[in-house]
Amino acid sequence: MSEADGTLSAAGVRAVRTVRAGTASGQVVRCDLSDVMLADLPVSVVFFYPHALDEERLLDGLARALARVPLFAGRLRTVEGELQIVCDDAGVPVTLADATETLAGAMGRMTLTASGFVDHVQAAAARTGDLPLFTVRLSRLTDGGTALGCSWHHAVGDVQTFALFMRGWSAEVEGTEAPGVHLVADREAFLEAALPASDSGRPGFRLPEPAEAALLAQEVASAGRANRTVQVYFDAPELDRMREHFSAVAGRWLSSNDALCAHVLGAIRQLDDPADAEERELTVPVNVRGFLGLPAGALGNLLGEIQLPCPPGQGPEHLAVRLREAIETFPQSQLSLRSSRAFLARVGRDRLRECVPLGFNPARKTFTFSNWSRFGVYDVAFEGHRPVAFSPANIVQLPWVSWLVEGFDGRGRLFTVVLPARLAGRLRTPAGQAALHPFREPQDVLPALAGELRKLA
């Protein structure tokens, strides 16, 4: 069910509705350490559809989806220092708007913080319990398409949690079977029961000294001015050639994502400074559900990370092999959740908000590579229409952070990266194109939408 909040005067906005399931379980979800670490972060994305979508039908389906997964309509609260999600059906604000762009024009702006296609969740302020944990913006495009912008509070869950919810929303509209979900009341106890007695021994976050903490705060404050977002498209044949080359040089099987991660990191490092003699690091967030035997439908931030050194002068094929080996031995060599708990016990839980993830170290140009592919985002169909594009929509442009998703129509891969402004511009030069696309051949025919995006590298 939804309630009209009135028509706003903002340009293009026709109305804002609050969508609710219509029933509140009142269940309280106790957040885990990983949720709290991410509780100041929103995650924003945009789906693009080539057709107009029936807004009332979508809103009715959203209400039913919220009944199945009430976390997204809930609110946060803190009780005795413990972060909790209350499933009170406070609701999801949905903005209905008319955009001034075509489908291709909107996609060219999709990574801009102020693109107008997403109402970003106010993550830090939402800790008070007064603000939504999920927002939706439905924009009609001038050529009949639709942009569906979604933003969710990271404490609710990771990309798998979001994808399960969105596929459930799609199922409610389409009348198909929704994927199963597992709502955990005590996330800390749930994960504790699944963790091995010992892990890599390396915590997944650190406590910076006051001087570094001040520099990190300054980096965040200046991020919007100092950094730019670049998107790079790799088509399927290009990826196949890349994987085959890397596998042949390595003398073993490598996945396309192993090869692509190592390739883009090497190319960007070369474009940044060919003479770079410093050891850098790569951080790769990992979905731990499969590694720990947890249900695929378990909701929350069930994440670990791979942390690999990147010595100077080492070819990308070596990094691809080490990444593959880290994945294959993840529970023993990389899992850090129990070590993170032990670290927090030593420094004190009250200092958690002072800690930073290992991947956030801009002074050392630590590179974070988040793989969002194969979560089923192109299965989020409405009225028989699948999205033709999907992309992250940045709100905080922290440097050296990247995301990988399926490309247009689910084909190939779309790589989104935030870099210092000058380096970001270098990726779009002929030298940048040559470094990024050595495996593209003249006969390759790119998707039509890829050709229409002027700023795509």
**3-class DSSP assignment, residue 368:** strand
The alpha carbon dihedral of 109, 113, 115, 118 has a sign of positive
Taking residue 93's Cβ as centre, other Cβ atoms within 10 Å add up to 18
* 3-class SS shares of the chain: helix, strand, coil, % to 5: 40, 25, 40
Closest CA to 202 of 290, 365, 323, 330: 330
Determine how β-strand 280-287 pairs with β-strand 367-371.
Answer: parallel
Domain ranges of the chain: 2-191, 201-374+397-452
Q: Where are the beta strands (DSSP E) in 128-171?
A: 134-140, 146-153
pLDDT digits (tens, 9 = 90+) for 264-288: 999 999 999 999 999 999 999 999 9
Helices (H), 111-156: none
Using a 10 angstrom Cβ sphere, with 0-12 exposed, 13-18 middle and 19 or more buried, the burial of residue 199 is buried
**In sequence order, what are the beta bridge partners of 336?**
none
Residue 109: the pLDDT is 87
> What DSSP assignment string belongs to 265-307?
HHHHHHHH-TT--S-EEEEEEEE-HHHHT--TTB-S--EEEEE
Question: Cα–Cα distance between 265 and 367 in angstroms, integer?
Answer: 8
Measured in whole angstroms, the distance separating CA 158 from the mean position of its chain's CA atoms is 8
Q: In a 3-state reduction of DSSP, which class is residue 46?
A: strand
Nearest to 85 by CA among 25, 143, 18: 25
Any residues with CB less than 8 A from the CB of 82 and at least 6 apart, and which?
30, 31
Distance from C-alpha of 433 to C-alpha of 405, rounded to nearest angstrom: 20
Give residue 79's Cα distance to chain centre: 28
Instruction: Select from 3.30.559.10, 2.170.190.11, 3.30.9.10, 3.30.420.40 the CATH code of 201-374+397-452.
Output: 3.30.559.10
Q: How far is residue 440 CA from its own chain's centroid?
A: 27
Instruction: Enumerate residues 6+ apart whose C-beta is below 8 A from 165.
Output: 65, 69, 72, 181
pLDDT for res 112: 81
Domain 2-191 CATH (choose: 3.40.1360.10, 1.10.1200.10, 3.30.559.10, 3.40.50.720): 3.30.559.10
Q: Which two three-digit tokens encode residue 239?
A: 């990826």
Let me know if 137 is exposed, middle or buried by CB neighbors in 10 A (0-12, 13-18, 19+).
buried
Half-sphere exposure of 268 (CA within 13 A, CB side): 33
CA–CA dist 210, 106 (Å, integer): 42
H-helix or E-strand spanning residue 454: none
SS3 191: helix
> pLDDT truncated to tens, each residue of the chain (457 aa)?
555 443 333 559 999 999 999 999 899 999 999 999 999 999 999 999 999 999 999 999 999 999 999 999 999 999 988 999 999 999 999 999 999 999 999 998 888 878 899 999 999 999 989 999 999 999 999 999 999 999 999 999 999 999 999 999 999 999 999 999 999 999 999 999 999 999 999 999 999 999 999 999 999 999 999 999 999 999 999 999 999 999 999 999 999 999 999 999 999 999 999 999 999 999 999 999 999 999 999 999 999 999 999 999 999 999 999 999 999 999 999 999 999 999 999 999 889 989 999 999 999 999 999 999 999 999 999 999 999 999 999 777 899 999 999 999 999 999 999 999 999 999 999 999 999 999 999 999 999 888 888 778 8
**Element (DSSP H or E) covering residue 55:** helix 55-68
Tokens 């799609």: give the residue: 170
Q: Which residues contact 326 (CB under 8 A, 6 or more apart)?
A: 284, 306, 308, 333, 334
Task: Report the alpha-carbon distance of residue 67 to residue 400 in Å, rounded.
Answer: 38
Cα torsion 7, 11, 12, 13: sign: negative
Q: Which of 302, 266, 42, 29 is nearest to 153 (CA)?
A: 42
Taking the CA atoms of the chain, what radius of gyration do you get in angstroms?
22
